[in-house]
Amino acid sequence: SQTIHQWPATLVQPVGSPLSLECTVEGTSNPNLYWYRQAAGRGLQLLFYSVGIGQISSEVPQNLSASRPQDRQFILSSKKLLLSDSGFYLCAWSVAGTKIKETQYFGPGTRLLVL
C-alpha cells in the first residue's frame, strides 16, 4: 500500500531564516505531487505541483520554492521566511498519469510558525 510522510511535524522558525520541508511517498512510482498551504481558519491553497522529477509548476507567486530531486521526494523551501509564511503545509500525491479528476491523498502535514 502507499504511504506518504512529511517532516518535521512542527517547526518554529525566526523571520528571515531558511526553510526546508520534506515529503516522501512510498509504494508507488512517478506520482503526481502537490504542496498546499492551509492558513488559520482558511481553506487550502495549492502552492506547487509536480508530474515528474525536476518538473515543478507554481500556482502563486510567493516567497517559497519547490524541488523534486527524486521520483518520490518533494521538498518545499524558502531562503528567508516571512511572518505570512506561517501555516499548515500539506503534501499530497495522486496516481501517475491521471488527470486532475482523480483522488489526491494527503500527508499528516507540517505546522510552521514564523516568529
Grid coordinates representing 86? 506561517
Out of 11, 44, 53, 95, the residue judged to bind other proteins by CB under 8 A: 44
* Residue 72 near residue 24 (C-beta atoms within 8 A): yes
Shortest reach from residue 71's CB to other proteins, in Å: 17
How many positions of this chain bind other proteins (CB under 8 A)?
25
CB nearer to other proteins: pick between 83 and 100: 100
CB nearer to other proteins: pick between 84 and 98: 98
Residue 95, amino acid: V
Binding status of residue 105 toward other proteins by CB under 8 A: yes
Shortest reach from residue 10's CB to other proteins, in Å: 10
Strand 110-114 with 55-58, pairing: unpaired
* Residue 23 near residue 5 (C-beta atoms within 8 A): yes
Enter the DSSP assignment of 60.
Answer: S
Binding status of residue 5 toward other proteins by CB under 8 A: no
For residue 65, the cross-strand partners are: 77
Shortest reach from residue 11's CB to other proteins, in Å: 14
